[in-house]
Structure 1
Amino acid sequence: MLKNIKIEQNKYVPYAFLLPALILLGFTVFFPAIQAFALSFTSYEYDITELPQWIGWNNFQRLWQDELFWQTIENTLLYLLGVVPVLIIAPLGLAIMVNQKLRGINWFRTAFYTPVVISMVVAGIAWKALYTQNGLLNQFLKQIGFTEGIRWLTDPKLALWSVMLVTIWKGLGYYMVIYLAGLQSISPELYEAAAIDGSDSWQKHLDITLPLMRPYLFLVGIISAISATKVFEEIYIMTQGGPRNSSKTVVYYLYEKAFQDLDISYACTIGLVLFLGILGLSIINVKLTADSNK
């Protein structure tokens, strides 16, 4: 009898340790999220000292008719298509290269990982200086024969792609480390057996590396997609959504409505749509991870 009581008591001990963290998350994450969800159905703008007024689905109807919102959706999807495939493939190639047993290879790993530890504010300011009309990039182009510099951040057709390059540069080292952990878990004996069967050089990576790295490929794909969906710092520092809203993403539009226009309820509506999109990506991640582990 006493043994059963002791087992019952021990069963609740882990929950006691989790309770402080749960309370903290409740105040900092869950409660604000529920409040933002409720504000999506109210009118709460300009004078934030007034109580919100219930307006039902009006904000969602406004969102449906908002052309600028749909443009930000288009820009965000374009960002996904431009960034995610590169961040899935290129870091894997880097990881394969730095996974070699060569002298000084740790220096190469450090060099590729260095952009990850650099603050996005610092990186954004540095790249913005490189992109200016008299920046190093245009100076280099003039040296090789281009008489006129490229308007990297002021041309509506190039601004978003120029920001994408910064995101890719910043994320290569991070995803390389994830792939490197997966590569080092693959037994060298598999490559030796493949070499005996005639699978060598890059063929061995097609036969062995890619199939065994599939869970990591799914993980990097989903993480990079979620990060690209939430991109903000690069846009804020380098373009602020311009020129002519060509680089304005959903998160930046949300920030603009909430903190510049003080249209809090409408910003919460945009945030709710963004949350549902990220939730969908997270569900896909869980599903793909579960299928890959079968």
Structure 2
Amino acid sequence: MTTKGRRVSRREQHRIGGTGASVTVRNTLIAYAFMLPFLILLVVYHTWPVIFGSYLAFTKYNIISPPQWVGLANFRELFADEQFWSGLRNSLKYVLVVPVIQVISILVALLVNRPLRGIGFFRTAYYVPVVTSFAVVGLIWSWLYKQGGAVNSVLMGLGLMRGDHSLLDNPATALFAVMFVTLWKGIGYYMVLYLAGLQGISRELEEAATIDGATRSQVFWNITLPGLRPTILVCSLLSTISAIKVFEELYVMTPNGYPAGSTYSALMYSFSKAFGGDFNFGLAAAASMVVAVVSILFGLINFRLTKGGRSDA
């Protein structure tokens, strides 16, 4: 015996549908109310500075007088300044740290992903440099790099250095010395991201491949690495953008591009034009805009190399 449900009239269906719609609208408003504080901070400290900075790139502005529209004059002055091109070249050199830090971070993530005793301690130890202020890190490594420091003693003991001199005082090695500090400090950060990516890969796939006779290297290249492709895209994008807009590391360890401008970066040029006495905020904004465009171009290259982060590509 079957029973038929009560037929609902169109008027009642309309009433029920209207109630459901009102509940959906109310829930949406509640969600946006929770997000409102963050959205306000995002607009005030991110969106508005980007818009206003882009506008300043086409003006002459020194804080005291109102901005005056000058069109492309700042960019013409910028592209004619050899100091800016020197800084941009050093910023692009800094991108060399990106593939190195990604490879080492993946290897470290594979290492700490093993169920070993005390592995939590090693994960924490690798991450400690990430949460340490770069002012502190810069001072410590400047001391290690100085003449007669620990780094020189090790390099001379290994026969890799002739003569006791600071790596930060040599124009040929200063930039690479700072790059190594960036590498050392950033490994822990990317390690955590890759560790999360590794734990998101199906263990069943790896075990099935092993049962079918695949070697450990074959499992890594055919299962683990493709599964990490979305994480590789994110990490390479973050690392590339950080490398191109490098400033803090160089400013702390090698102020004003010391020695002989060998560590002078594009953002250091922007900072000096804005706050170094010229107060030419229009030219500084133009330099920052060029750095942003270069970062976007390298981001597109990362998308191409990682096949858009698709794990099934």
TM over 0.5: yes
> Which segments of 5 or more consecutive residues in structure 2 lack a partner in the other structure?
1-14
Which aligned pairs between 1:60-209 and structure 2 lie closer than 5 A?
60-80=75-95, 82-144=96-158, 148-209=163-224
Following superposition, the deviation at residue 181 of structure 1 comes to 1.0
Cα pair 1:215 1:292 within 8 Å, conserved: yes
Please state whether the residue corresponding to 2:117 is helix, strand or coil: coil
Shift in CA distance, 135/38, structure 1 to aligned 2, threshold 3 Å: same
Shift in CA distance, 167/19, structure 1 to aligned 2, threshold 3 Å: same
Match of residue 219, structure 1, among 227, 234, 256: 234
- Residues of 2 paired with 1:16 and 1:22: CA distance? 10
Structure-1-length-normalised TM-score: 0.89
1:253 corresponds in structure 2 to: 269
- Letter in structure 2 aligned against 1:3: T
Cα pair 2:245 2:267 within 8 Å, conserved: yes
Cα pair 1:141 1:149 within 8 Å, conserved: no
Shift in CA distance, 100/39, structure 1 to aligned 2, threshold 3 Å: same
Following superposition, the deviation at residue 267 of structure 1 comes to 0.6
Deviations 1:162-197 (A, max 9, x none): 110000000111111111111112233222222222
Shift in CA distance, 150/204, structure 1 to aligned 2, threshold 3 Å: farther
Shift in CA distance, 208/63, structure 1 to aligned 2, threshold 3 Å: same
Match of residue 18, structure 1, among 27, 35, 44: 35
Please state whether the residue corresponding to 2:169 is helix, strand or coil: coil
- Residues of 1 paired with 2:240 and 2:205: CA distance? 32
Deviations 1:134-183 (A, max 9, x none): 21111233445555124311111111111100000001111111111111
Matched, 1:273 2:290: yes
Deviations 1:94-148 (A, max 9, x none): 1111111111222222222221121111111100111111211112334455551
- Residues of 2 paired with 1:61 and 1:285: CA distance? 29
- Residues of 2 paired with 1:249 and 1:265: CA distance? 18
Cα pair 1:219 1:289 within 8 Å, conserved: no
Q: Could you tell which deviates more after superposition, 25-34 or 152-161?
A: 25-34
Structure-2-length-normalised TM-score: 0.84
Following superposition, the deviation at residue 233 of structure 1 comes to 1.3
Matched, 1:233 2:248: yes
1:31 corresponds in structure 2 to: 48
Cα pair 1:96 1:180 within 8 Å, conserved: yes
Aligned length: 291
TM-align CA RMSD? 2.4
- Residues of 2 paired with 1:203 and 1:286: CA distance? 25
Cα pair 1:219 1:285 within 8 Å, conserved: no
- Letter in structure 1 aligned against 2:245: K
- Residues of 2 paired with 1:119 and 1:131: CA distance? 18
Shift in CA distance, 281/22, structure 1 to aligned 2, threshold 3 Å: farther
Which protein shows a greater Rg? 2
- Residues of 2 paired with 1:56 and 1:38: CA distance? 10
Matched, 1:264 2:278: no
2:259 corresponds in structure 1 to: 243
Cα pair 1:95 1:180 within 8 Å, conserved: yes
- Residues of 1 paired with 2:204 and 2:25: CA distance? 48
- Letter in structure 1 aligned against 2:178: V
Following superposition, the deviation at residue 7 of structure 1 comes to 4.7
2:310 corresponds in structure 1 to: 292
Shift in CA distance, 187/53, structure 1 to aligned 2, threshold 3 Å: closer
